[in-house]
Each structure stands twice: as structure tokens, then as C-alpha cells.
């Protein structure tokens, strides 16, 4: 599969849900496919440090991370804003603004071509609106875990979202969050 880079920088918006408007989020060079045949395309989890302290905490098995899913030369991530529109956005791989890139983890492959991946992301974006983002319960790492599993059948490493898992039971009690089985934790 041959991918070609469109020349110049183009302003990009979060993934657009059909019929709903979005606000501008970031800019990157758009990747376009010149061959739409399906094959085995690698999927990567790109992990970023949220704080310089991660340099110390990482080796002890802790840290606060941001992550994005890279496929077909585009990285998809989830972020917060105040509107009930998509919080899913695209950036140039390993270049998410505001974060320091740590590492890229091979998650497996997908047989979806670039157009199918884009359509898949648009469908997934309906579940990830900017106003539903929550640092502990529904963050960028939860998004990546969901997307990686759906694209490759593989789970993301537990250490990427360890802080949210440690804090989840306590946050659920404080916020009265329902966990899908009718009970509150």
C-alpha cells in the first residue's frame, strides 16, 4: 500500500459526526492513500508523558500518560472540551501538541484500508464526545484501549492507564458513577 503526504499544513478539526459541527483543534499534514487495497497494516499505541516527573515514576511502574492510536500514518486520540461533539481528533504521529513523546508500542495489524479506518473512527467518535471526557473514568487511554482492541484484538499494556485504575473505585463513590450493572461503586 502506497501512502502519499499532501504538501503543506492543513487546519484539521476533530472527527466530524455526521451533521454536527466541530471546533478547530490542531494542525497536521494530511495523509492520503493512493491505493485502497486492504492488507495487514500495523497499528501502534503512541504513549506520551504528561509530566516531567514520569522520568522518575516510569521505572517504578507508575506515571501519568496520554496516548493515541496510529494507523495509516494518522494518529487518533481523545480529549476534553465543553461541547457534546466529538472529542476524537487527529494529529501527526508521535507529535501530539502539549505532550512529550515516550514510546510507540506495536499493537498488531488491521485489514482496514485508510477509508475504512476513517469511517470506523467516525462511528467510534459518537461514544467519545468532548464533554464526556473524565480523567479517571473515560480518558484518552480508555479510548485507545477500546480502539486498539477493536482494530487488532489486542489489549493495551496495563501500565499506560494504571493511575486511573488505582483511583477508579474511590472516584466512583465520590461522583456517584454507575458502572453499568445498576449499582454504584
For the chain, domains (ranges, CATH) are 36-175 (3.90.1720.30)
Instruction: Specify whether 140 is catalytic.
Output: yes
Q: At what angle do helices 140-152 and 114-125 cross, to 10 degrees?
A: 140
CB 55 within 8 A of CB 63: no
CB distance 142 to 158 below 8 Å = no
**What pLDDT does 52 receive?**
85
> Tell me, what's the pLDDT at 57?
77
Q: Tell me if residue 26 is catalytic.
A: no
pLDDT of residue 5: 41
Which of the following is catalytic: 26, 66, 142, 148?
A: 66
Q: Mean pLDDT, consecutive 10-residue segments, the chain of 185 residues?
A: 40 44 35 49 96 80 91 97 96 96 97 97 96 94 98 96 64 35 36
- Per the DSSP assignment, residues forming a β-bridge with 78 are 88
Give the pLDDT score at 94: 98
Confirm if 156 and 148 have CB atoms less than 8 A apart: yes
Angle at 179 between CA 139 and CA 122, to 5 degrees: 45
* Contact present, 167 and 136 (Cβ < 8 Å): yes
Nearest to 164 by CA among 132, 133, 142: 142
Q: Point out which residues pair with 103 in neighbouring strands.
A: 47
The C-alpha torsion from 167 through 70 and 130 to 95, rounded to 10°, is 90
Rg (CA), the chain: 17
Q: Which position among 22, 26, 96, 140 bears the catalytic label?
A: 140
In what helix (H) or strand (E) does residue 45 lie, and over which residues does it extend?
strand 41-49
Amino acid at each position: 500500500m502506497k501512502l502519499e503526504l499532501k504538501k503543506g499544513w492543513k487546519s484539521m478539526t476533530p472527527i466530524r459526526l455526521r451533521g454536527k459541527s466541530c471546533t478547530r483543534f490542531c494542525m497536521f499534514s494530511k495523509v492520503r492513500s493512493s491505493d485502497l487495497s486492504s492488507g495487514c497494516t500495523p497499528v501502534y499505541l503512541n504513549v506520551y508523558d504528561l509530566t516531567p516527573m514520569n522520568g522518575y515514576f516510569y521505572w517504578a511502574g507508575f506515571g501519568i500518560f496520554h496516548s493515541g492510536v496510529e494507523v495509516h500514518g494518522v494518529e487518533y486520540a481523545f480529549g476534553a472540551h465543553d461541547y457534546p461533539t466529538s472529542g476524537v481528533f487527529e494529529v501527526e504521529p508521535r507529535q501530539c501538541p502539549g505532550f512529550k513523546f515516550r514510546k510507540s508500542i506495536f499493537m498488531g495489524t488491521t485489514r482496514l484500508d485508510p477509508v475504512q479506518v476513517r469511517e470506523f473512527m467516525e462511528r467510534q467518535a459518537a461514544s467519545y464526545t468532548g464533554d464526556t471526557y473524565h480523567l479517571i473514568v473515560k480518558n484518552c487511554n480508555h479510548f485507545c484501549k477500546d480502539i486498539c482492541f477493536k482494530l487488532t484484538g489486542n489489549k493495551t499494556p496495563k501500565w499506560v492507564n494504571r493511575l486511573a485504575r488505582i483511583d477508579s473505585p474511590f472516584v466512583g463513590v465520590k461522583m456517584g458513577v454507575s458502572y453499568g450493572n445498576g449499582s454504584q461503586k
